Amino acid sequence: MITQEPAVPPRGGGLLRVRLDIAYDGSLFSGWALQPGLTTVQGVLEGALFTLLRRQVRLTVGGRTDAGVHARGQVAHIDLTPAEWHAMARGRDVDPADAFLRRLTGTINRELTDGVTGRGRSVRNSVPAVVVRSAAKAPEGFDARFSALWRRYSYAIADTTTGQDPLRRHTTLWHPAPLDVALLNEGAGHLLGMQDFAAFCKPREGSTTIRELQRYEFTRGHDGVITATVQADAFCHNMVRALIGSTLRVGSGEMPPGWLAERLAARLKDARSVLAAPHPLVLEEIAYPGNGELAARADLTRARRTVDHLAPTDPHAARSPEDAPTSPLEGSPAQSEA
């Protein structure tokens, strides 16, 4: 597991940015970000990259997930030298992107078997816990974190109407009371738009809790499982789980739908701000603008957003998708957005 500062890339030409699209089962990991002595998704990937490139490489990620949270649509980038990129093909007539993905996949699998499952254990023909789905040269101006327009999460819930399914226990919340989907959606509607979500975020000194919640809705599938869809320009720490945990109190009839609006207006995180369990939460997608708008979007994101900068009547006020340091290490590794 690589935890040191990243080494300076080898000299020779400008750096080439590579976009990685990643999926993972978060059950085995203490979140995405590097943490001393703990197994993390970033640690596994950077360990594999170290083995492949013989130097330390630091990943920049689109959305830092918390312990136990999964991803189907995670995005990250790394910077390589052109020589490193083209060396992946080893002089053969193959696309360096295909060669890099194939070699990285094999290295990740060894890293997982030796460092995560332990004692060399593996399950034949099973899907590994971390999969890099694609690797490609990124367009000019692309930044996995700062160019993002929005992040979308899903959250699966089974209640007494659905019944218990032991095969879903690692990815679905069991709620021991019936839930009214209409009440869930009525309550969720109070939270949409550009708001200060201080009541639903773990505070960080000097950071804003203003976010634009673009979608927040609940649907019950044919199997009875309720799926929450939560989409925002970005999420502050624990925001998604706090939103779900509070809204479930409305869906069960414990609190009226307007209670969520009251909580939002109070801007106070207290004992009533209960976090939903992390294991049903999945980062489904991170969206980016067209190639010609990537750099401008990244510049806009880096502009800190504060209450004073927001004009309530101006829907085009500056929207910073994530409040975070501009350091390449991206702030404290223990901080996650959802």
Q: Which residues have a catalytic role annotated?
A: 66
Q: Give the Cα separation of 236 and 104 in Å (integer).
A: 31
Q: Give the Cα separation of 229 and 111 in Å (integer).
A: 33
Nearest to 189 by CA among 212, 170, 216, 166: 216
Q: Give the Cα separation of 74 and 283 in Å (integer).
A: 7
Dihedral pair phi/psi, residue 17, rounded to 5° = -90, 135
Dihedral pair phi/psi, residue 95, rounded to 5° = -70, 125
Is 104:49 a contact under the CB 8 Å cutoff? yes
Angle at 207 between CA 202 and CA 213, to 5 degrees: 70
Please give the distance of CA 212 from its chain centroid, rounded to a whole number.
16
Nearest to 225 by CA among 195, 186, 181, 191: 181
Is 132:20 a contact under the CB 8 Å cutoff? yes
Q: Give the Cα separation of 43 and 31 in Å (integer).
A: 10
